Structure 1
Amino acid sequence: MKNKKILSIIMVLAIVFSNLFVSCSDTSKAQEEKIKVGQQAKNEEEAKVDAEEERKSKNEKEVEQQNSSDNTSTELSSESKVKLVVKDLMSGDGKTKLNGQYAIGYYYSDLSDDDLVKIFNEQIKNKKLNYASLVDGRDKNKGYVFSTSGIFDFGTVDKTGGITKSEKTGEVTENSVIYY
């Protein structure tokens, strides 16, 4: 009888220790999972930072390349805030050359109506372009898209400088801008 009591006590203790071990094991697994999730979030944040740095580097290279490509750029005065580069129109996949050309340039400070008139008259008017884009170098998704007739849209632009969402429309006359 005494042996049965001792054996029962040992069994109860074994069950208690077993449950404690399982409980600790579950806690360890939960902690490991938290660490994994934290590490994954950290990796995603690092990837975002790397992508942002790569985007900035690419933008700087575009500007550098634009500034060095004198053979395709239009002539402009030293006072101009934008240097337009003429490029061939390409299909959406970027592999097939289409008939026509467009011009694209980047500005890094706000453009006044006088700036728009000057840029249009000196660099866009009377050129054989399908369109011309002035892209905000601080926010590559915003910009002006001009026709060679003087009508333009300001709004969201795509990577080729094409307008995707117009916020305002205007027209450059000889020496002023009219908004519609």
Structure 2
Amino acid sequence: MDEIDRKILDLLQRDATLSTAEIAESVGLSTTPCWRRIQILEQEGYITARVALVDRNKVNVPLDVFVAVRTDEHNIDWLDRFAGIVCDFGEVVELYRMSGDIDYLMRVVVPDMAAYDAFYKKLISDVRLTDVSSSFAMERIKYTTALPLEYAEQRGRTKRKRG
């Protein structure tokens, strides 16, 4: 990965609808070499998907709830069951297995407190948990799906012909 690849990724992270010609112009390449680089970035797994970000207010899920879960079950069967159940909830947009005092952390998006209460009741009826603690975001100060690219390393791609 070189500086041009990082610029391409940065542009695509911010707007995946940009045409190859627009990206090429922004990074100082002609269209064909730029297209080749994008194809390589996809083939090598740097680009994993191209998606549309939806306005959460227009689809009525303005409330972020961060749910910390503790369990006394620490085996693969329980984890597989828990992950399967939680991943089926459309409201759960992120789920992490954690180190420290909490075992799992999820971000849940819902319209309001009543919808969260219904989610919570379904969650605790479907899976055995030791403790569930919920924190409600009062304000979203920063949110981005763009990853910082300054840490991306040079990889062994210099042997390939680059545009």
TM-score (norm 2): 0.29
Bigger Rg, which one: 1
Task: Tell me which protein shows more helix as a share of its residues.
Answer: 1
Higher strand proportion (structure 1 or 2):
1
Q: Which has the higher relative contact order, 1 or 2, with Cα contacts under 8 A spaced 6 or more apart?
A: 2
TM-score (normalizing by structure 1): 0.27
